[in-house]
Chains A and B, each alone.
Chain A
Amino acid sequence: MEQTKKGFLSSFLDGLYFNNPVLTLFLGLTLAVLATTRFQTALMVGVLTLVILFLTVLIVSLCHSFLNKVGATILSAILSACFATVTMLLLVAYAPKLIDTENEKAIALLTLVPFISTTSLVLIKGQESLEHPLSDNLGDALGSGIGFLLALVLIAFVRELLATGAITFTAIDGTSSTWTAWSGWTLGILSQPFGGFFLVAIFSGIHLAILEAKKQKASVAKEAK
């Protein structure tokens, strides 16, 4: 397959902001809706996705000469499933209280981590890595991963704060601490899937509006020249 070169920094910025996976391309929406009920869950899922995405893209890029489109996607799925399984086993071994399903304040990571292996973000980025050289792919994976993490964290912060009026953190030993922003009124309905869809739509709309405004400003400046 013929490859096109964009450059590491350009690919990084593209993935991070201009083509943000959640807010512009709408990739990984399952995780964006499910993992953003809590700030800490979003943070951990975002970091895990970043690591799994980077490793998957790295390996698929190194094997690009042996792969076609179907092969690259299947390899991405299998690799990400392997990494997700290893992550789950590590969590069970080293942080069992953090993910204990009987602890209300624990994080539902055992339910969410398997979805990283089937998220469209990893599969599509794996598939696209056939079209660009290694440095561009790594830049794009890093940018997209960080962009995904930031989008998740931003949505989760607003969602948890509005839904509960507080942000809860759970330590590895299972103890939890809460930072209360206000007490009184809360929008508990935002912790339902409705809240995920609603906030992703609002944030993506704002992001797209900013991008569009910049684009229009640039075209006006170009025409003035």
Chain B
Amino acid sequence: MQFLGVLLSAFFAHSLVLSGYGLRQNVALGAKKTHYRWVLLCLYFVEALILGFAGWGFRALAANNAMWTYLTPLFAVLIMSICLGGFALLTKYCFPEAMRNDLSDSYVEIGLNSSLLALVVVLLSYEAGTDAVMLIGSIICLPLGYLAASYATGAVLDRLSVSNTNGPFRFATMPLLLLSIAGLCLGCWMMTF
């Protein structure tokens, strides 16, 4: 039940997109221009899981030595760089050329920004007294909530891009997408009352 609560709050009230984290990369993840978007979604999810659990380890170290609190972001970026290097090798040697070319524009930014998600998980989830179920729930559910929200906002952006010429003067696409997210935020915020 507790796990379900974490999952639902990650999807709605604590969705990372609606909280303002990782907005830029959600455009690349959500937009339909990339045919192999599912590969990016998998990459993002796997990286977020690895970094989330690594962050848990860093927090355990920080309990004994406060210096680890400040070093966590640096180590998160280093681990993420290793993950990204591994993915770059995987795409180079294992993926077909069409898939490689399609992904080349997006995966670097998305792979690197996974560390942002990990940082969010580390910074927001590991409060004193948080039990293990909540931590594992956050590590798994926050990326899922992020991906769900990315899909939703990506669909809005696609629609706005198609009807670009009909949009209000220069508020088309991104400003309108931001206004849509602001509306969603307002709705979620009011649901918390």
Q: Which residues from A are CB-within-8-Å of B175?
A: 201-202, 204-205, 208
| B115–A118 touching, CB < 8 Å | yes
Please choose the segment from A1-9, A23-31, A176-184 that sits at the chain B interface, where 4 or more of its residues have CB less than 8 A away.
Answer: A23-31
Residue of B nearest to A201 (CB): B178
Query: Quick check: is B38 within 8 A (CB to CB) of the other chain?
Result: no
| B81–A78 touching, CB < 8 Å | yes
| A198–B123 touching, CB < 8 Å | no
B11-44 contacts to A (CB < 8 Å): 18-25, 27
Given contacts A118-B115, A209-B170, contact A197 B179 (CB under 8 A): yes
Interface string of A187-220 (1 = CB under 8 A from B): 0010011101110111011001101100000000
Residue of A nearest to B107 (CB): A70
| B23–A189 touching, CB < 8 Å | no
Given contacts A78-B81, A123-B109, A205-B170, contact A92 B70 (CB under 8 A): yes
Given contacts A30-B20, A85-B73, contact A118 B109 (CB under 8 A): no
Which of A92, A111, A196, A211 contacts B20 (CB under 8 A)?
A: A196
| B84 CB, min distance to chain A CBs, angstroms | 6
Which of B88, B115, B185 contacts A194 (CB under 8 A)?
A: B185
Query: Quick check: is B61 within 8 A (CB to CB) of the other chain?
Result: no
Given contacts A82-B74, A85-B70, A205-B171, contact A123 B113 (CB under 8 A): yes
Which of A33, A89, A115 contacts B119 (CB under 8 A)?
A: A115
| B113–A120 touching, CB < 8 Å | yes
| B21–A30 touching, CB < 8 Å | yes
Which of B84, B85, B170, B178 contacts A197 (CB under 8 A)?
A: B178
| B109–A120 touching, CB < 8 Å | yes
Q: Which residues from A are CB-within-8-Å of B74?
A: 81-82, 84-85, 117
Total A-B pairs, Cβ < 8 A: 129
| B123–A111 touching, CB < 8 Å | yes
| A74–B84 touching, CB < 8 Å | yes
Q: Which residues from B are CB-within-8-Å of A123?
A: 109, 112-113
Q: Which residues from A are CB-within-8-Å of B27?
A: 26
| B40 CB, min distance to chain A CBs, angstroms | 15
Complex formed: what's the CA distance from A85 to B68 in Å?
11
Which of A118, A198, A204 contacts B174 (CB under 8 A)?
A: A204
| A26–B77 touching, CB < 8 Å | no
Complex formed: what's the CA distance from A187 to B108 in Å?
40
| A212–B170 touching, CB < 8 Å | yes
| A78–B77 touching, CB < 8 Å | yes
Query: Quick check: is A105 within 8 A (CB to CB) of the other chain?
Result: no
| A77–B116 touching, CB < 8 Å | no
| B123–A114 touching, CB < 8 Å | yes
Query: Quick check: is A88 within 8 A (CB to CB) of the other chain?
Result: yes
Q: Which residues from A are CB-within-8-Å of B23?
A: 26, 29-30, 33
Given A114-B119, A208-B171, 15 new contacts (CB under 8 A):
A26-B23, A28-B24, A69-B108, A92-B70, A118-B115, A123-B109, A127-B108, A192-B189, A193-B18, A193-B19, A194-B185, A196-B20, A201-B171, A204-B174, A205-B171
B residues with a Cβ closer than 8 A to A are: 18-25, 27, 70-74, 76-78, 80-81, 84-85, 88, 108-109, 112-113, 115-116, 119, 123, 169-171, 174-176, 178-179, 181-182, 185-186, 189
Task: Show 21 residue pairs from A and B whose CB-CB distance is below 8 angstroms, ordered by the A residue.
Answer: A26-B24, A26-B27, A27-B24, A30-B22, A74-B85, A78-B77, A81-B76, A81-B77, A84-B73, A88-B70, A89-B70, A117-B73, A117-B77, A118-B119, A124-B109, A196-B20, A200-B178, A201-B179, A208-B170, A208-B175, A212-B170
